[in-house]
Amino acid sequence: MSRKPNIPAVAAGLRRRAWARLREGQPGPRSKAGDPKSGADTVRVLQELEVHQIELELQNAELQKSREQLEAALEKYTDLYDFAPIGYLSIDESGVIQEVNLTGAVLLGLERSRLVHRGFLRFVAPTSQPIFRAFLERIFAGTENQVCEAKLTKGDGPAFWASFHGASAISAGGPRKCCRVSVSDITSLKRAEEAQRRLDVLAAANRQLRREIERRQATEEALKKSYQHSHRLLKQSQHMQKELRLLSRQLLSVQEEERKRISRELHDVVAQTLTGINVQLATLKAKPTLSPKVLARTITRTQQLVEQSVDIVHRFAGDLRPTVLDDLGLIPALHLLMKGFRQRTGIRVSLSASAAVEQVSGDKRIVLFRVAQEALANVARHAQASQAEVRIQKLDRAVCMKIKDNGRGFQEERVRRAKRRKRLGLLGMRERLEMVGGNIVIESVPGEGTTIQAQIPLNVRARGTQRSPLAPCGAKD
């Protein structure tokens, strides 16, 4: 038999298998009577019918097998669909649920039969409904997958957060548009995110609090240092005020003693000298007829008394303020001071000076002269020395003066602890030097003498300002 055109491959295969089975079960056709041609046609028709029967049986067996496979696949698909870990819904463009799996029904808290043909927005929290509507609009407007998060309400349970993934689909029931949506419960994830946000907020607050604590600790430390510095300055100020009050009282006392000494000197020496002059003049007046020789002798004695009075007045003036210091300079004034010192005390004293020291200003000259005057006075009063040396020189940035004696010396610690009135001379020298930006260093060894070193900068600033350190005395000019 000729085959029909365009026979499917499956049908062709079934026919071949039917012909093979027929050949295996029956012998070939044989005519026993009648017309051989007619008998052959009958046999062919029978064979064709048998082939069709066998073909139908094979088709039936194949269909049964396919049905069983489809039923198994459908059951597997149904299990996968219904018992999936997330919910699956089919929702039309009006938001009505068309299909839902068992997991979706459990998530929404109702039976599946009660969910079908119900609006899904009933299960969306009011605050999330605008978000979900926009989600559906995006799905039906395009073909790309859409994602959103919304809060859902259960039928008999608390609300929960859900994540939606949706895509458009073709509806099997008609021309209405439909979409497939997967739903998963992300409440625990939201709680974890909220907890993480709180932790981040707490961590940020903790960092800010730590920075605030560090700032306050730094501020407290700065305040503590400032308080300590202010306390030190206050103590230093109180100490200086005490020193100044003591120095003021002692200066008043010294001034009073000096006035008493000058008064005594004037009374005992100058007044007596002037009295002697007056007596001599009275004698001349009482005896106007004295011989020229006696008259000359009397006048000579009177002149000696006048000269003695003038010397005493000059010595007083030199002690108060030597005019030679202003007229001739520091070095001649020091020479005059040491000459009078040798005459009064018998202590040998030498002066070594550089001519460059005369470049210092007038107030510094006075300070250096008074320091030398006070130092030599201390040598005469306390040192029990036989000789002293004064050296003054100009350094790079300062003028340095050294007064050294070979006296008995003293212990510096004992002098520092002594009553302040016993070291008024040292305080006075230090105060004078500090007024012009200078300083004083005193070195003394018992039995070996004392060295006083005073320095005055050439470019002095106001008291209390910062100044660069001075080179030690003894450096080259």
Report pLDDT digits (tens) over 5-45: 444 565 566 666 666 666 665 544 444 444 555 667 777 77
d(CA 95, CA 139): 12
pLDDT band at 212 (very low <50, low <70, confident <90, very high): very high
Neighbours of 394 (CB within 10 A): 18
pLDDT band at 476 (very low <50, low <70, confident <90, very high): very low
pLDDT band at 300 (very low <50, low <70, confident <90, very high): confident
CATH code linked to domain 323-477? 3.30.565.10
Domain residue spans of the chain: 9-81, 83-185, 323-477
Which pTM does this prediction carry?
A: 0.43
Report pLDDT digits (tens) over 85-143: 899 999 998 899 999 999 989 888 888 888 999 999 999 999 999 999 999 999 888 76
Q: Classify strands 177-185 and 87-92 as parallel, antiparallel or unpaired.
A: antiparallel
Q: In what order do the strands lie in the sheet with 387-394?
A: 348-353, 387-394, 398-405, 449-457, 439-445
Count Cα neighbours of 231 within 13 Å in the Cβ-side half-sphere.
6
pLDDT band at 234 (very low <50, low <70, confident <90, very high): very high
AA letter at 285: K
- 3-class DSSP assignment, residue 276: helix
Mean pLDDT of 349-361: 86
AA letter at 393: Q
* Backbone φ and ψ of 411, nearest 5°: -90, 120
AA letter at 179: C
Contact, 450 vs 415, CB < 8 A?
no
Q: In what order do the strands lie in the sheet with 177-185?
A: 97-100, 87-92, 177-185, 160-170, 146-152
Question: According to the per-residue pLDDT averaged within each range, which of 297-306, 324-333, 455-464 is highest?
Answer: 324-333
**CATH 3.30.450.20 for domain 83-185:** yes
* Backbone φ and ψ of 397, nearest 5°: -125, 10
